[in-house]
Structure 1
Amino acid sequence: MQVAMACRSCKRQLLLVARQANTAVATELYSGAAAAALGHQLRVATKPAAREQRRAFRCTQARSGILDVIRKSIQQSSEPYRVVAATKEIYDACSRAAPYKIDPIAVKAGTIPKTSEGEDIGEGKGMWHDDFKLPPTFSTWSQVTMLHMYLVFARLRNLDRDAAQSWQAQLVDHFFFDAEERMDLNHGISSRAMRSRYLKDLFSQWRGIVAAYDEGVAKGDAVLASAVWRNVFKAREDVNVRDLAATVSWMRLCLKMLDQMPDEALFTRAASALRWPAKNEFAVVDKPTRQLGDQLASPTTAPPAGKASSAA
């Protein structure tokens, strides 16, 4: 009788765990293997000893089934939290690329300087401001951040469809939460409706950026450089082509490093692929120019003496 009660207790626990897991795996486990283990599909033995043996066997199998469901339930329930933590670390690495600060006193007083397009100009130091001569504005921060995000976004497509969508959605959510907070705290946009309008425009930019960079990656460096010029450098006519070439070379390198990274390593090492400074690619871009300069600077080789005398 005690064994029979234990079997019913196992069955009840299995039902609760399966109900909490709310997954097809748990349902299938209960309806298939666990149901068979609990004895619903077994014939009842006529001898008392055989009956007790079957009950003990069913109880053991039920406990094993419960442990399997618990392990799968914990794994599936903890996966979203791992993705959130991993994408937050990746996003932080993306958003730190082009930092800028806005003086809150100047914002309230209305004395903050602005660009010709009416953007607030803050204070910013770093590679993208110093080496690539990008102004410390919200637009620069968002474009450089989205540039970094795209590189990871492209790598995530190699995951399973559901996993890729989960990773990409979390990464994009981190960006737009941060963007709205910057609009409010840094630029004094307290109107929720106005922030929503700006966020819609920013989302349209993001979708266009993904399409433009995808086209550039597929069609070649010239098309990719054109996409970078239109978005990051705002199609400025005075842009340094050397900056575009270095940015494209850096994008290719980051995509290569991310592609060589195993899927499981995305949880811990994805942000490391973005740490290589884009300015280091100036050495790669300048290499052909240096080689040409060396060739032009080298002295002309004198002709053999016999040929010189015959020419005379």
Structure 2
Amino acid sequence: MACRSCKRQLLLLARQANAPVAAELYSAALGQQRLHRVATTPVTHQLRRGFRSTPAQSGFMDSIRSTIQRSSEPYRVMAATKEIYDACSKAAPYKIDPIAIKLGTVPKTPEGEDIGEGNGMWHDGHISTNGDLSTEFKLLPTFSTWSQVTMLHLYLVFARLRNLDRYAARAWQAQLVDHFFFDAEERMDLSHGISSRALRGRYLKDLFVQWRGVVAAYDEGVAKGDAVLASAIWRNVFKAREDVNVRDLAATVSWMRLSLKMLDQMPDEALFTRAGTALRWPAKNEFAVVDQPTRQLADQLAPNTEPAGRASSAA
């Protein structure tokens, strides 16, 4: 985890890490130049025209390709993780009026959190045209809601990255964590007016502790069953509210299982281009899956239920 002020230093360190790769390319180029000076026979001129390549030239080109691939891999990972993180962070968007922040008129929760304006499915709640069932999750548009929903999405990607090579998985996970905490600190500064770097650092440390706890809780839930997973979602996303709708928990669990399955079926190379698409399936669509047993039971009981007027007339 790093603060926003360290972002430039991290980029400089990344450039320094690629310095040995550049030196290797330079040495390989010098070796090829020596081969070019030695090759002066007519046969060698024909080889250079493309009729045939010597083993030395083939080995040089292979080394160039492998070196370029190794040098470009960190940048590919950085670009891919940024795209994945953008998909995760846009799940529960919210905005706070900057004028209200300056005037100190931002509404707050009983815990003291700023309440903004959100229009995502995790925030709004309305009545469905098919009945009185809500098709949204009705969470308050706060920083806490945004961070918990974002961490929920990040966990799904983290679970998939464990199938990669050990060092590759660590590189991907480190980049995702950096993107998250850079964005979190920027929101604290710009959206909530927390200008003190020390105060932001304290909040980021608390957020990092929450992140570690979220990963452990969701791992336990995925391994032990849906009831344990629903309990972890209730504690983190829904803040252990007593009035939470169990239907919301069931839909979230179903969505997590489906997303994990979609990510698991994705090839490793597709993570660079299509990992974000697996998170675009709206969690609210799982309400139809959760409500299906209830509707089937209602359809079974409907023919056996007679209207009250018909029963009274028969008596």
Interval of TM-score (by shorter of Structure 1 and Structure 2): 0.7 to 0.9
Which one of 65, 81, 86 corresponds to residue 87 of structure 1? 81
Structure number with larger C-alpha Rg: 1
Q: Where does residue 170 of structure 2 map in the other structure?
A: 165
Question: Over aligned residues, Cα RMSD in angstroms?
Answer: 2.6
CA drift of 1:22 comes to 6.6
Q: For residues 61-107 of structure 1, what are the alpha-carbon distances to aligned partners after superposition, in whole Å with 9 as ceiling and x for unaligned?
A: 43333222211110001111111111101000000000000111111
CA drift of 1:299 comes to 2.3
Which one of 108, 114, 117 corresponds to residue 111 of structure 2? 117
Greater relative contact order structure (CA < 8 Å, 6+ sep): 2
Code of the aligned partner of 2:105: T
Which one of 156, 175, 178 corresponds to residue 151 of structure 1? 156
Q: Where does residue 77 of structure 1 map in the other structure?
A: 71
4+ residue runs over 4 A deviation: none
Q: Is the 8 A contact 2:161 2:173 kept in 1?
A: yes
The answer as to 2:248 corresponding to 1:247 is: no
3-state SS of the aligned residue for 1:123? Answer: coil
Which one of 302, 306, 309 corresponds to residue 297 of structure 1? 302
5 Å matches for 1:171-250?
171-250=176-255
Code of the aligned partner of 1:96: K
CA drift of 1:20 comes to 3.4
Distance 2:82 2:224 in 1: 31
CA drift of 1:160 comes to 0.4
**What number of residue pairs does the alignment pair up?**
260
The answer as to 2:251 corresponding to 1:257 is: no
Q: Where does residue 63 of structure 1 map in the other structure?
A: 57
Q: Is the 8 A contact 2:21 2:71 kept in 1?
A: no
Q: For residues 137-192 of structure 1, what are the alpha-carbon distances to aligned partners after superposition, in whole Å with 9 as ceiling and x for unaligned?
A: 00000000000010011000000001100011111110000000000000000111
Q: Where does residue 12 of structure 1 map in the other structure?
A: none
Q: Where is the helix percentage greater, Structure 1 or Structure 2?
A: 1
- For structure 1, the residue ranges without an aligned partner over 5 or more in a row are 1-17, 39-51, 301-312
TM-score (norm 2): 0.77
Distance 1:21 1:75 in 2: 12
Code of the aligned partner of 1:20: V
CA drift of 1:298 comes to 1.9
5 Å matches for 1:134-145?
134-145=139-150
Percent pairwise identity: 82
- For structure 2, the residue ranges without an aligned partner over 5 or more in a row are 1-18, 36-42, 48-52, 125-135, 306-315
